[in-house]
Structure 1
Amino acid sequence: MPVEFLVVDECALGILDAALIDDSWFQDFEIPPNTEGLRRVRIRDAVYLLSANASLESGSVVVKTGSDGIFKRLAKPRSAFERIMRVGLRQFDRNIAVPVSWQPYHEGSRLSVYAEPFGRKMPHRIYFDQAPGGSGNLYAFAVTETPEPLNNVAIDLVGYERAIEGLLDALVEEARPQRAVGSFGILLSVPLGFQLAGTGTLQEWYDQKLSDEQLRFVDQPHDRPVRLRGAAGTGKTQAMAVKCLRDLYADADAGGDKTFAFLTHSAALAHEVVRGMFFALDQSARWLDLKTAAGRSKLWIGTLYELAQEQLSYEKKGLKPLSLDGRDGRELQRLLIEDAIEEVQKNPRTALGVLRECPEFAERIANKDRRSSLIEELMNEFACSLDAENVRKGTPAADRYINGSREGWQMLLPSVDDRKAVLEIYDCYQGYLRKERLLSMDQMVADFGRYLTTHEWNQLRDIVGFDLIFVDEYHYFTRVEAMILQNLFATKAEQRGRWPLIMAYDLKQSTNDAVLGGGLERFRNPGVGESVPVDLKQVHRSTPQIASFLRDLDASFPAIDLEGEFVTYAGNSSKADGDSPVAIEIATNLKLIDSVLDRALSVARTLTGGGSQVAVLCINDELFDDYCKAGRTKDKIVPVRAREDLRELRYARSRCVFSMPEYVAGLQFDTVILAHLDQVDLTGEYLSQGARRRYVSRVYLGASRASRQLLIASSSERGGLSEILRGPVANGSLKVDASGL
């Protein structure tokens, strides 16, 4: 008899969410014998996966399986199952959010999300009932090939009731003997952040493992804002996690009623890494169960976007945020900007008007060979100047944008007419967003900021606001996002005009200019009072040789006045010596990718963690997309095209991780190979200081992911080794190997 239903109790969700699962598992849903904390029971046509704490009062996730069920109709059942587990975790813990890139849509108690990554290309959707039969359970009941109205999708409630009725029999039945050997299609694992945090309890970290610098930060009081500055690998996120949990437990043990928020710029960092770190520090997961006197969770973990979506309920209004936290969102944004450029070129009003007044800019946008770099600059200009300042044609803000002075990091637009032309492109781009009923993330945040000034929020602030806010990766927050943070506090959190905002950042890891928009005063005084700086200088991730390379690379950053915040790299490694980083030039792009991947796989075979410990990070956007699609790389790589894909690292095995630096920020690998650090990317006629800074930041971010071995590969076809490597080569921190890989 085939399995028609899978039932998972709420406490088992976290165990399964961290598991490594093969597609073969979806036949019988077996688990290895003697699995601690989880047992499998089959009652008629239903399989029950139950934790040690399962009871009739527990919440359950019920999944329709079988020949007409969810997994049979999908090419990637594992992706769908992971999404069902996340929605289930959200069902029973409102502090967990469903990523905006899944495009959740609600109607009554029903919910649907994309079943697989890159949903616009693979538009299957999973359908849930969040209150089947009036219960508090979750029922994943159907999948469709294309989006359908929620109430038009058929639901088998009779089968659901039968599966729930069998729960009592499953709870009282003793586990039957299982086969002791063989492939079960599942390996129970630990969250990604658990691996990054290493060993040690919360108390052990505080007593023995924290450096003096980290300890000084952890002991900071709550009567002021604090900014934690440190180069990559100095343990900023680890120190933030220790301080957050330690302060949370201290308040709870003292009978306090404070609420804490831990905000990141990436949902994957929040839910995969930070939660995993918390679990590593305290495997009892006490932090999940702590409540205020009013029954509210004392700790909220997520992104500013998730908070905004929660308050503004965009999905219920038929509006979809355009996620830029991945290649899918960026590709869509590129297409919309390219369409806007074409429209401005063809429209007689603009073609015979503003473009005639700026012939050099008109020639630039007409050059299809340089279109990609132009769009990259426009994306940055839109996010960090136009969206950030809410600039619209015909407004005083537009006049200031057109006639005001410009910073060195901004797009090169020397004339007033150049800026008018950019405003025309931006206006067309905004029109396309409205037509598609999409909101950029910057628009979403701007709306949220306005909501936080309303009378409604003023009434709710002391009910749902926070007493202490931790912000990791603060260097990715725009000025508008930073301005929002003060209004997220409950009014009682203020102490003599200062608010307890705890920030961690490294400006040199920012691969866009969001950090620079509006100046850097928001780091010293982020709208919550003058902040106290704590600097971390001891590197815990990389060898002294890699730290030496990063110091020399530091000199390649352009001389932009960043008000004292863009400090010289001063990392001192606490690790044992290793090999010097090596640079290699390879004749063609094709030979480069083949050689690099062969080297990565060879290294992976020698490491305990296999391919998950080896990352090939491509520096060029277009080539990264090309290689992800190429058949010759298919069986060699696990592509990470968005931060959301971080959980795919656990499936690397005999393959290597293939990504770009910004998508693996916050992670570390034994070996990193930077591919296509080529001179041609810095030879553009219109290259601004900002574009150069972003390029060097991408290289710095990628290189700092390596803990033991760093290799750099460039293509002779694209100009050979980038000029930013001249300093490290001259100083001996980077060796050039003429023999090739």
Structure 2
Amino acid sequence: MTAATLVVDEKAISILDAALIEDTWFQDFNVPSNFTGLRRVKVGDVVYLLSKSADLDSRLLVIPTSILDAVPDHRSAFERIIRVALRQFDRNISLPTQWQPYHEGSLLSVYAAIFARKNQHRICFEQAPDGSNNIFLFAVTPEPEVLSQIKIDLTCYREALENFPDALTTDDEDSENVGHFGILLSSPLGMQLAGKGTLEEWYEQKLSAEQLKFVNQKCDRPIRLRGSAGTGKTQAMAVKCLRELYADADCGGDKTYAFLTHSAALAHEVVRGMFYALDPSERWVHLRVSSGRPKLWIGTLYELAQEQLHYEKKGLKPLSLDGRDGRELQRILIEESVDAVRNEPRVALGVLKECRDLSDRMSDMASRSYLVEEIMNEFACVLDAEKIRRGTPEAEKYVRSTREPWQMALPTEAHRKVLLEIHSEYRERLRRERLLSMDQMVADFGGYLSTHEWDQLRDSAGFDLIFVDEYHYLTRIEAMTLQSLFASRAQHSGRWPLIMAYDLKQSSNDAALGGGVARFRNPGVGESLSMDFKQVFRSTPQIAAFLRDLDASFPAIDLEGEFQPYVGQSEKDDGDVPTLIQFDTDVKLIDEVLTRALAAARKLPGKGSQVAVLCMSEDLFDRYRSAGRTQGKIVAVTSREDMRELRYARARCVFSMPEYVAGLQFDTVFLIHADAVDVSEEYLSQGARRRYVSRAYLGASRASKHLTVACSAERGGVSPILEGPTRNGSLRGDVVL
């Protein structure tokens, strides 16, 4: 890097947050000279990236480039540095729990990249250098350290501030005649998904009649907004949120609002981008109540919990399940727990002898992945959600209770006792690793919300109106915490204004079903008003027809009227009928699909970010994304935190699983490995079959114009869930030998 220090003003930080950055950019930090929103100035050894509104009062991010050099992945670390700076200047923004933010006075550190045992680099910040409101990157450590014991050298920071007045008055001559900048300045992801139109234009012209009815509905009770994929639920929620926010602000009100999602990436990449598209002035960012607190908070329930419970100060790490790394770590812990219980004489010679089928499954390594998947779901949606522990009265009730059809097949009390043993061993392994499952974290948060401390803080820290997108991903224990998040003044005749949007069929786990789905009608905040969206704005009529036929494959589970038939009617122009392709082998499948996907990407303005290859099999997804034959052809999105990686697709295509791209849409989708083998497992429960169909439904519904479904004869050929669409002609065959 040719510069000793990089300085970015607070408005320029927002521009860089949406930029596509290559590794070459870090050599000179050049920006296109024809981009009017950002300019580059160099004074001595300091490079300043300044917005057009930068002035002497602007708050600054100061980065010594020698420290940035010490990070293995420059781009990943820089994106996190930008996010930390955004948080410094906008308290509406939260830092993901997966980054493990650690605070010590004005000092802060986060992981520089996705946490792994081989890469534990931390980037460290001083959030008040010399008592200012600026933020300074002062160190990178190869592993976590006590921040107060790290020496801070403010020499380059003071030099950057000393030269800042000169930078403001210096013309930018440094980036002239530079051919390749290594940076592409673009709009946030949410803006691209929201489409064009201001808040007023959406309200007066673009909303459909059913969307307008929802937006105009009074917020004096809970509202549950139901709608199939592509019906514009998130867009309508964003419009309603801003209109309610501004109406209160315009009349001098002091109400506070929360917009919660299950995914931090969805909250900060998509929802915030939608808000920016609706109101580029960012008035929603700057509004404050009389106490100085922001009127609007956007994020996840986990981020709220992290703010209150401060796990990082206690040396505890929440185990993220929002990604392959978190799921893989959980899978390893569960597999180790299964083996430990199977080899424990007390269990092996006791209850395990009474359920030979489960014992055989625990010993059968060929089908171990199916068993672990079922156990993961049972833990998340039943045992952890209901705080059931071995040896407690709740455990006795669990052992003797009637099982729901969607739950794991555990027909006898002995089967359930074995699950409790595995769960107990799993919790012990989490404890030894000083990890908390997300369910444990939320359970602790629920406990905190019932304390005298929160009772004192509730009216100053609670909310008057709460929006929850993707409510179907919340477990019962998560849903139960929502009432306590309201300020006491928010109550209307025993009802609390919770606005929730959901589609049960998009849920690839059973979180929504734990404890019964009656909580959708009465989510602990009073009887809710039901509103439905039926017009589809994302997909062509041909893709909508396929989704209607696929809908018939869902198991006949009685979900108290909430699991409704697909009734979406597309408002888009006609397109191609979705295509089914069969391959002899897995290798032929991935090679040919990537060839077609890359050819499709070359024809689109957005290139590869508009083409997604979504894999139905977790095992094959992991195998393909690390295989040599896919390198240089794909951008792997392995968690919902990776949504930012979509910007880097270019001549490649997006490679992911349906659940990691929920909330997004693509011009073209290839849904691969819809194979018979995944629904032929002897012990597969109705719940597992529902989750499988939901994954297919979620993946197919990401497509707006073109959909191709691929299967492999090596894995049993065409999945039986595709029989209806094939028979009805909404999926046409195209056999490839």
**TM-score range for the pair, normalised by the shorter chain length:** over 0.9
Distance 1:408 1:495 in 2: 37
Matched, 1:473 2:461: no
Distance 1:276 1:637 in 2: 25
Compute the TM-score of the two structures, normalised by the length of structure 2: 0.98
Pairing 1:34–2:34 present = yes
- Rounded to whole Å, the distance in 2 between the matches of 1:38 and 1:277 is 22
Note if contact 1:324-1:330 (Cα within 8 Å) is conserved in structure 2.
yes
Tell me what 1:141 maps to: 138
Matches of 1:108 and 1:435, distance apart in 2 = 28
- The code of the aligned residue for 2:67 comes to G
Q: What does residue 720 of structure 1 align with? A: 717
Which structure 2 residues correspond to residues 107-186 of structure 1 after superposition, within 5 A?
107-176=104-173, 178-186=175-183
Tell me if 1:204 matches 2:201: yes
C-alpha offsets along residues 1-41 of structure 1, whole Å, 9 cap, x if unaligned? Answer: 93111111112111000001111110111111132222211
Give CA deviations for 1:459-515 in whole Å, capped at 9, x if unaligned: 000001000000000000011111111110011111111111101000000000000
- Alignment of 1:24 onto 2:24: yes
Q: Does the 8 Å contact 1:479/1:517 carry over to 2?
A: yes
Give yes or no for the alignment of 1:396 onto 2:398. no
Q: Which of 298, 308, 330 pairs up with 1:311?
A: 308
Aligned 8 A contact 1:7 1:60 in 2: yes
CA distance in 1, matches of 2:493, 2:478: 23
C-alpha separation between the residues in 2 aligned to 1:471 and 1:548? 29
Q: How does 1:397-416 map to 2 (within 5 A)?
A: 397-416=394-413
Cα distance in 2, alignment partners of residues 75 and 588 from structure 1: 38
Report the more deviating stretch, 703-712 or 337-346: 337-346
Alpha-carbon offset, residue 121 of structure 1:
4.2
Counterpart secondary structure, 2:333: helix
Deviations 1:183-218 (A, max 9, x none): 111111110000000111110001111000000000
**Residue aligning to 2:67:** 69
1:325 aligned residue:
322
CA contact (8 A) 2:634 2:653 kept: yes
Q: Work out whether residues 227 and 503 of structure 2, in 8 Å CA contact, stay in contact via their aligned partners in 1.
A: yes
Deviation at 1:57, TM superposition (A): 2.4
Within the alignment, does 1:267 sit opposite 2:264 as a pair? yes
Opposite residue 165 of structure 1, the aligned amino acid is: E
TM-superposed CA distance for 1:289, in Å, is 0.7
Identity of aligned pairs, percent? 67
Instruction: Specify the alignment match of 1:626 in structure 2.
Output: 623
**Within 2, Cα distance between the matches of 1:646 and 1:28?**
27
Is the CA contact (8 Å cut-off) linking 2:583 and 2:735 kept in structure 1?
A: no
* Residue number in structure 2 paired with 1:484: 481
SS of residue in 1 equivalent to 2:161: helix
Tell whether 2:255 aligns with 1:291: no
Using the TM superposition, give the Cα deviation of residue 100 of structure 1 relative to its aligned residue in structure 2, in angstroms: 1.1
Q: Distance in 1 between matches of 2:151 and 2:682?
A: 58
Q: C-alpha distance in 1, partners of 2:364/2:692?
A: 22
Partner secondary structure for residue 261 of structure 1: strand
Aligned to 2:234: 237
Alpha-carbon distance in structure 2 between the residues aligned to 1:358 and 1:104 = 45
TM-fit CA distance, 1:160? 1.7
Q: 1:502 aligns with which of 499, 504, 518?
A: 499
Q: In structure 2, do the counterparts of structure 1 residues 193 and 94 end up closer, same or farther at CA, with 3 Å as the change threshold?
A: same
Offset of residue 547 of structure 1? 0.1
1:514 and 2:511 are equivalent in the alignment: yes
SS of the residue 1:42 aligns to: strand
Structure 1: unaligned runs, 5 residues or longer: none
- Are the aligned partners of 2:92 and 2:285 in contact in 1 as well (CA < 8 Å)? no
Secondary structure at the counterpart of residue 193 of structure 2: helix
In the alignment, which residue of structure 2 is the partner of 1:694?
691
Q: Of 671, 674, 683, which aligns to 1:677?
A: 674
The match for 1:611 is: 608
Over the aligned positions, Cα root-mean-square deviation in angstroms equals: 1.2
Alignment partner of 1:595 out of 569, 592, 597: 592
Q: How far apart are the structure 1 equivalents of 2:2 and 2:707?
A: 50
Counterpart residue identity of residue 101, structure 1? Q
Aligned residue in 2 for 1:444: 441
| Counterpart mapping for 1:353-364 below 5 A | 353-364=350-361
Q: CA deviation at 1:96?
A: 0.8
What residue is the counterpart of 1:93 in the other structure? 90
State the one-letter code of the partner of 1:37. Answer: G
CA distance in 2, matches of 1:432, 1:57: 51
Question: 1:143 aligns to what SS in structure 2?
Answer: strand
Task: For residue 685 of structure 1, report the CA deviation from its aligned partner.
Answer: 1.0
Q: Give the corresponding residue for 1:106.
A: 103
Is the contact made by 1:542 and 1:707 (CA closer than 8 Å) also made in structure 2? yes
Cα distance in 2, alignment partners of residues 524 and 360 from structure 1: 38
The question of whether the paired residues in 1 share the 8 Å contact of 2:40 and 2:174 is answered with no
Amino acid at match of 1:405: T
Amino acid at match of 2:222: P
Contact 1:102 1:119 in 2 (8 A): no
**SS of alignment partner, residue 514 of structure 1:** coil
CA contact (8 A) 1:4 1:69 kept: no
Residues 425-461 of structure 1, C-alpha deviations (whole Å, 9 max, x = no match) = 0000000111111110000100111111111111000
- More deviation, 563-572/124-133: 124-133
Structure 2 CA distance, aligned partners of 1:622 and 1:126?
33
Bigger drift between 173-182 and 503-512 goes to 173-182
Deviation at 1:135, TM superposition (A): 2.1
- Distance, in Å, in 1 between the alignment partners of 2:174 and 2:452 is 62
Report what 2:47 is aligned to.
47
Q: How many residues align?
A: 737
- Alignment correspondent of 2:9: 9
- Which of 548, 551, 567 is the aligned partner of 2:548? 551
Q: Deviations over 1:353-400 (max 9, x none)?
A: 222222221111011111111111000000000001100111110001
Describe the shift of the 1:642–1:254 C-alpha distance in structure 2 as closer, same or farther (beyond 3 A): same
Cα pair 2:41 2:174 within 8 Å, conserved: no
Question: Out of 634, 643, 646, which is 2:643 matched to?
Answer: 646
Displacement of 1:411 in angstroms is: 0.3
| Aligned equivalents of 1:212, 1:729: Cα separation in 2 | 34
- Residue 731 of structure 1 and its aligned partner are, at CA, apart by 0.6
Cα drift, residue 556 of structure 1: 0.2
**Is 2:427 aligned against 1:462?**
no
Please name the residue that 1:189 is paired with: 186
Give yes or no for contact 1:32–1:180 (8 Å, CA) kept in 2: no
8 Å CA contact 1:635, 1:655 repeated in 2: yes
The C-alpha deviation readout for 1:255-281, integer Å capped at 9, x for no partner, is 111111000000000000000000001
Equivalent position amino acid for 1:465 in 2: G
User: What per-residue deviation string (whole Å, max 9, x for no partner) do you get for residues 588-626 of structure 1?
Assistant: 111111111111001101111100000000000000001
Which residue matches 1:635? Answer: 632
TM-score (norm 1): 0.98
The 3-state SS of whatever aligns with 2:58 is coil
- Post-superposition shift, 1:171? 1.9
**Residue aligned with 1:515, SS:** coil
User: SS in structure 1 opposite 2:298?
Assistant: strand
Q: What is the alpha-carbon distance in structure 2 between the residues aligned to residue 152 and residue 327 of structure 1?
A: 34
Query: Which letter maps to 2:523?
Result: P
CA distance in 1, matches of 2:356, 2:104: 51
Distance 1:693 1:267 in 2: 26
Deviation at 1:181, TM superposition (A): 4.7
Which residue in 2 is equivalent to 1:340?
Answer: 337
Letter in 1 for 2:54: A
Specify the code of the residue in structure 2 equivalent to 1:238. Answer: Q
Match of 1:166, SS state, is helix
Question: How far apart, CA to CA, are the structure 2 residues paired with 1:546 and 1:353?
Answer: 52
In 1: Cα distance, 2:639 partner to 2:174 partner: 42
Q: 1:254 aligns with which of 248, 251, 255?
A: 251
